[in-house]
């Protein structure tokens, strides 16, 4: 079968190749998926470039890709909730990537049937951004009536997060560029802030939650716009102490991370605020809840472009550009 593989750390064009590899077989608790679509995420190009090599160790050539939608074509003898022919979607475990390929064997406990009202490309666009958002807002204890700021509303995470927060009854502020303002309004945000002409910090104030998708200065600025006791939940800032421990990092590395995080710690203390960095875990139960929201049409997947597997490197370069409106999908049947 054909599969995109990482051949080394560095430039995307130089360190990715489509190779012929052996079709996987299934263990007792796995299902074999014929992949119809997979979607790209920032973690994909960051892994190739070596940004995460302290956390994710690779042996080259290495598989790539975490989001998947497809059809069950074989299953282990202990798998009871799925049948051959089922149309599924999943975010595969972090230690078992490989969705940019024609087939993948996956632990069945992270796989569920895809929403009936969307196609494979749309289904593949959802798992990582959906689960990340659900887990971030769970950590922040999102409730109806909360005032929430979601940065980068036109991106893959932002387009999902706006719809999810609105479905939960929140008042949503989001930021985007001038050309996307009207389009992002259609996703349901209550106040769309044009960051090219408006200062979001002067508009979004006394917030309950900031969903930090950008990191850097935006993480620190979040504490200026939340209310006392509010929560900043990040997928792009510095690791918090609990996440560092969960990753099994040694005391020296945790100390260095604490020093790197000290500005965030001071800002949080000054506002008696909470700061969390969230690393998403695959979760079939939460994915099932997302499926329900999609089937009720409270959340609609947003896709920027679908690339064939032969153009997977272009798809990742598009992802890295930061200019996608919604998700970028690799269609194996394209």
Confirm if 254 and 245 have CB atoms less than 8 A apart: yes
**Do 133 and 119 fall within a single domain?**
no
CATH code, domain with 224: 3.40.50.720
CATH code, domain with 107: 3.90.180.10
**Do 225 and 139 fall within a single domain?**
yes
**Do 193 and 207 fall within a single domain?**
yes
**Do 134 and 257 fall within a single domain?**
yes
Q: Encode the chain (334 residues) as per-residue pLDDT tens digits.
A: 999 999 999 999 999 999 999 999 999 999 999 999 999 999 999 999 998 887 788 999 999 999 999 999 999 999 999 999 999 999 999 999 999 999 999 999 999 999 999 999 999 999 999 999 999 999 999 999 999 999 999 999 999 999 999 999 999 999 999 999 999 999 999 999 999 999 999 999 999 999 999 999 999 999 999 999 999 999 998 887 877 777 777 788 888 878 888 899 898 999 999 999 999 999 999 999 999 999 999 999 999 999 999 999 999 999 999 889 999 999 997 6
Residue 143 has what pLDDT?
A: 97
- Give the 3-state secondary structure of the chain: CEEEEECCCCCCCCCEEEEECCCCCCCCCEEEEEEEEEECCHHHHHHHHCCCCCCCCCCCCEECCCEEEEEEEEECCCCCCCCCCCEEEEECCCCCCCCCECEEEEEHHHEEECCCCCCHHHHHCCHHHHHHHHHHHHHCCCCCCCEEEECCCCCHHHHHHHHHHHHCCCEEEEEECHHHHHHHHCCCCCEEEECCCCCHHHHCCCEEEEEECCCCHHHHHHHHHEEEEEEEEECCCCCCHHHHHHCCCCHHHHHHHHHHCHHHHHHHHHCCCEEEECCCCCCHHHHHHHHHHHHCCCCCCCEEEEEEHHHHHHHHHHHHHCCCCCEEEEECCC
Residue 189 has what pLDDT?
A: 97
Residue 210 has what pLDDT?
A: 98
Q: Which domain holds residue 305?
A: 2-126+301-331
**Do 168 and 57 fall within a single domain?**
no
**Do 45 and 75 fall within a single domain?**
yes
Residues paired with 212 in a beta bridge: 234
The reply to whether 308 falls in a domain is yes
Q: What is the pTM of this model?
A: 0.95
**Do 157 and 273 fall within a single domain?**
yes
Residue 274 has what pLDDT?
A: 95
Residue 334 has what pLDDT?
A: 64
């Amino acid at each position: 079968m054909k599969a995109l593989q990482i051949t080394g750390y560095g430039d995307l064009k130089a360190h990715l190749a489509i190779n012929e590899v052996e079709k996987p077989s299934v263990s007792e608790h796995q299902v074999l998926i014929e992949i119809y679509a997979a979607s790209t995420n920032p973690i994909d190009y960051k892994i190739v470039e070596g940004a995460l090599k302290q956390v994710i160790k690779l042996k080259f050539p290495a598989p790539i890709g975490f989001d998947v939608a497809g059809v069950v074509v074989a299953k282990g003898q202990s798998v009871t909730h799925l049948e051959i022919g089922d149309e599924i979607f999943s975010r595969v475990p972090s230690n078992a990537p490989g969705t940019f390929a024609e087939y993948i064997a996956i632990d069945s406990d992270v796989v569920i049937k895809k929403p009936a009202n969307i196609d494979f490309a749309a289904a593949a666009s959802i798992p990582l951004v959906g689960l990340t958002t659900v887990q971030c807002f769970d950590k922040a204890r999102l409730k109806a009536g909360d005032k929430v700021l979601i940065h980068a509303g036109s991106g893959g995470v932002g387009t999902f997060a706006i719809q999810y927060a609105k479905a939960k009854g929140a008042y949503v502020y989001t930021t985007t560029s001038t050309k996307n303002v009207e389009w992002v309004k259609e996703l349901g945000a209550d106040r769309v802030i044009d960051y090219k002409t408006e200062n979001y910090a002067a508009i979004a104030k006394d917030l309950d939650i900031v969903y930090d998708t950008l990191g850097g200065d935006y993480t620190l600025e979040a504490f200026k716009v939340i209310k006392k006791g509010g929560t900043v939940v990040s997928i792009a800032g510095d690791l918090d102490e609990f996440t560092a421990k969960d990753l099994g990092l040694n005391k020296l590395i945790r100390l260095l991370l604490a020093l790197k995080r000290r500005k965030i710690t001071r800002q949080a203390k000054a506002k008696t605020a909470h700061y969390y960095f969230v690393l998403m875990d695959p979760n079939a139960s939460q994915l099932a809840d997302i499926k329900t929201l999609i089937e009720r049409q409270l959340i609609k997947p947003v896709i920027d472009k679908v690339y064939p597997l032969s153009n997977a490197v272009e798809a990742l370069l598009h992802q890295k550009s930061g200019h996608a409106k919604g998700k970028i999908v690799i269609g194996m049947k394209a």
